[in-house]
């Protein structure tokens, strides 16, 4: 079974919208290494994220600048786009997810191959988490409160328990946190919690 990992830039107050407006001051070699390590030969992208990538990376590859190698890597990857509408692709190795999201991603995970990476695509990330199809959630938490914009988790009926797999602190103050889905959160009350409070506080 193929593993799907999502990689997101996120602010301290949970904003994931338009990270280009606030995250670049925190981008250093540590973050570059983390982002590069999450690249895979298959990318799963929402329509808006795909449009943003397709509008930038082919030109950067053609320009031959410092980011041309990374742009070429993205261009060479298989890019599967989640959209309810038919699309015409001009960027190589791009295709439309042919079925509804849950059915299509379930089939994709069952295919032979390596890991599948996601970048951005917040609405898709939410749906895959809810469906139990996302294996890892990689959050690069920036030490800034953006105070406006779409947040990672929206209102919902059920909590989504997660288990911390690893954590790393960058020199910029960014926290690199990796989570995976956990079992039920369990139950507890203040009576349970108070047994863990220090008894000799004066």
pLDDT the model gives residue 201: 65
Q: Is the pLDDT of residue 35 over 70?
A: yes
> What is the pairing mode between strands 136-142 and 175-181?
antiparallel
* Model pLDDT for residues 125-170, shown as the tens digit of each residue: 999 999 999 999 999 999 999 999 999 998 887 889 999 999 999 9
The pLDDT value recorded for residue 40 is: 96
pTM for the predicted model, two decimal places: 0.93
| pLDDT of 56 | 96
Compute the distance between CA of residue 111 and CA of residue 80 in angstroms, rounded to an integer: 13
Whether the per-residue pLDDT at 83 is higher than 80: the answer is yes
Compute the mean pLDDT over every residue in the chain, rounded to the nearest whole number: 94
Rounded Cα gap, residues 135 and 133, in angstroms: 6
Lowest mean pLDDT among 27-31, 96-100, 117-121, 198-202: 198-202
Q: With pLDDT > 70 as the criterion, what percentage of the chain qualifies?
A: 99
Rounded to the nearest 5 percent, the helix, strand and coil shares of the chain are 35, 25, 45
Query: Cα(98)–Cα(82) distance, rounded to whole angstroms?
Result: 8
Q: At the topology level of CATH, where does 4-196 sit? A: Dihydrofolate Reductase, subunit A (3.40.430)
CB-based contacts of 57: which residues, under 8 Å, 6+ apart?
71, 74, 75, 91
* pLDDT at position 188: 85
pLDDT at 32: 95
């Amino acid at each position: 079974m193929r593993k799907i990992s999502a990689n997101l830039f996120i602010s301290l107050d949970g904003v994931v919208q338009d990270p280009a407006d606030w995250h670049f001051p925190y981008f250093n070699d540590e973050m570059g290494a983390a982002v590069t390590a999450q690249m895979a030969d298959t990318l799963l992208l929402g329509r808006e994220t795909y449009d943003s990538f397709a509008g930038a990376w082919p030109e950067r590859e053609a320009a031959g600048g410092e980011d041309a190698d990374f742009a070429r890597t993205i261009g060479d990857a298989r890019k599967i786009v989640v959209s309810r509408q038919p699309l015409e692709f001009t960027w190589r190795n791009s295709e439309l997810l042919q079925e509804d999201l849950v059915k299509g991603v379930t089939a994709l995970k069952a295919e032979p191959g390596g890991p599948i990476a996601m970048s951005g695509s917040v609405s898709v990330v939410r749906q895959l988490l809810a469906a139990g199809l996302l294996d890892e959630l990689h959050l690069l938490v920036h030490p800034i409160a953006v105070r406006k914009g779409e947040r990672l988790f929206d209102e919902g009926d059920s909590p989504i328990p997660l288990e911390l797999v690893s954590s790393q602190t960058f020199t910029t103050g960014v926290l690199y946190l990796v989570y995976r889905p956990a079992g039920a959160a369990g139950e507890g009350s203040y009576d349970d919690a108070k047994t863990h409070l220090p008894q000799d506080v004066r």
